[in-house]
Amino acid sequence: MGKKRVKPETYEKFIDTLSLEEIRIVSLKAKVDDKFAPPAEVRIDDKMEFTKLKDNAFIVTHEYILKCYQKGKKKTGLEIAVTFQVKYRSDISIYEEIFDIFSQSSVPLHTWPYFRQLVHEITGRMGLPPLILDVLKVMTS
């Protein structure tokens, strides 16, 4: 059995009535190898999931893992892992098919600036040149 399709008007109402109520860090781990120094290859992975709450509220858990590798080395020289929890509310109850769209469009717009700032600050505090990640590119039609 296939996934049900989200009607455009349903998703539009979901977004129109959406409110972001809270964003917080629930987990943070950062480590740097003593011999690590830029330049380096940067890789970022992320994953997210949602949990329904009462009254059409829900929490999205969004984890970012940044790993940096010096040229020619396979060992991670720098790693930063952070998990954000974002609490939302909407008149339309979230379900898997809505989340599939929402997780690719809106959630990164809400969490990326916090992740970007955190990476910049932590790398500076680790004695490295502060790492500046790109801004998020938004596609417009």
Beta-strand ranges (E) seen in the chain are 19-32, 40-52, 57-70, 78-89
Residue 120 within a domain: yes
> What span, in angstroms and rounded, lies between the C-alpha atoms of 87 and 53?
9
Q: How many domains does the chain have?
A: 1
Query: CA–CA distance from 8 to each of 19, 35, 47 (Å)?
Result: 19, 52, 25
Q: What is the CATH number of the domain that holds 17?
A: 3.10.420.10
Name the nearest CA neighbour of 23 among 100, 95, 118. 118
pLDDT tens, 57-112?
999 999 999 999 998 888 999 999 999 999 999 999 999 999 999 999 899 999 99
For residues 111-134, average pLDDT: 96
The residue to which tokens 């505090």 are assigned: 125
Model pTM above 0.85: yes
The residue range of the domain holding 39 is 8-125
Residue 139 within a domain: no
Residue 5: helix, strand or coil by DSSP? coil
